[in-house]
């Protein structure tokens, strides 16, 4: 099997919501530093320092947002399934998967997630590691509904993968799981 890379679409609306969530508190902080009148004997140097620090943080957050927005792909190779989504990556070895099943869900409630281990969960955008209602470690790469819940049987570290992808991509993953190396 040759290396196969498939893009997972991300909705611009969700990127906008993430940007607002990251940047709005910083803009509020900057305005609180700049707007109050100076106290007697206080120079403007402290404002410029605070503004410089805030600008550096804003630049870093913008960089993180753009970098994470570009990371959204499924990569299938002979031995590995690699899913990159936002800041998170899932790597599954073919030998660790004995069987894979899939079901399609149309709402966030149907995903049966209970808590976040390490991930982002905002406005229907799910990226990273979560716990499912049955205690299984779940990797989410969800940016739109419907999503596909792929359950791995075997020794894989991750028991469930929830993915916003085309039906063709999901079928490629199932074929990869079913194929046995020669």
Residue 132 CA to residue 6 CA, distance in Å, equals: 26
The answer to whether 165 and 74 have CB atoms below 8 angstroms apart is: yes
Please provide the distance, in angstroms rounded to a whole number, between the alpha carbons at the two ends of the chain: 11
| Token pair of 106 as six digits | 């149309």
| Token pair of 108 as six digits | 């966030």
| Token pair of 17 as six digits | 């919501």
pLDDT at residue number 138: 93
| pLDDT per residue rounded down to tens, the chain (182 residues) | 455 676 676 777 777 877 787 778 878 877 777 777 777 777 777 778 877 887 888 888 888 777 777 778 888 888 899 998 888 899 999 889 998 999 999 988 888 888 889 888 888 888 899 999 988 899 999 988 899 999 999 888 888 999 998 889 899 899 888 886 65
pLDDT at residue number 181: 60
The answer to whether 112 and 132 have CB atoms below 8 angstroms apart is: yes
**Phi and psi torsions of 126, nearest 5°:** -125, 125
Name the CA dihedral angle for 87, 144, 121, 96, rounded to a multiple of 10 degrees. Answer: -60
Residue 27 CA to residue 40 CA, distance in Å, equals: 26
Residue 139 CA to residue 80 CA, distance in Å, equals: 16
For the chain, give the number of residues: 182
pLDDT at residue number 3: 59
Residue 159: DSSP 8-state:
S
In this prediction the pTM is: 0.75
How far, rounded to the nearest angstrom, does the alpha carbon of residue 75 sit from its chain's CA centroid?
16
């Amino acid at each position: 099997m040759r290396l196969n890379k498939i893009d997972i679409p991300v909705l611009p609306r969700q990127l906008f919501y993430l940007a607002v969530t990251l940047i709005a508190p910083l803009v509020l902080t900057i305005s609180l530093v700049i707007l109050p009148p100076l106290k007697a004997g206080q120079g403007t140097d402290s404002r410029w320092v605070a503004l410089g620090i805030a600008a550096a943080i804003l630049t870093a957050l913008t960089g993180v947002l753009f970098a994470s927005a570009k990371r959204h792909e499924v990569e299938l190779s002979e031995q590995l399934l690699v899913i990159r989504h936002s800041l998170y990556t899932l790597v599954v070895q073919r030998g660790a998967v004995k069987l894979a099943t899939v079901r399609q869900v149309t709402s966030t409630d149907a995903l049966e997630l209970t808590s976040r281990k390490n991930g982002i969960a905002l406005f229907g955008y799910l990226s990273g590691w979560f716990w499912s209602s049955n205690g299984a470690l779940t990797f989410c790469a969800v940016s739109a509904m419907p999503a596909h819940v792929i359950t791995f049987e075997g020794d894989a570290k991750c028991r469930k993968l929830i993915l916003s992808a085309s039906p063709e991509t999901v079928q490629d993953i199932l074929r990869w799981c079913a194929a046995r190396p020669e």
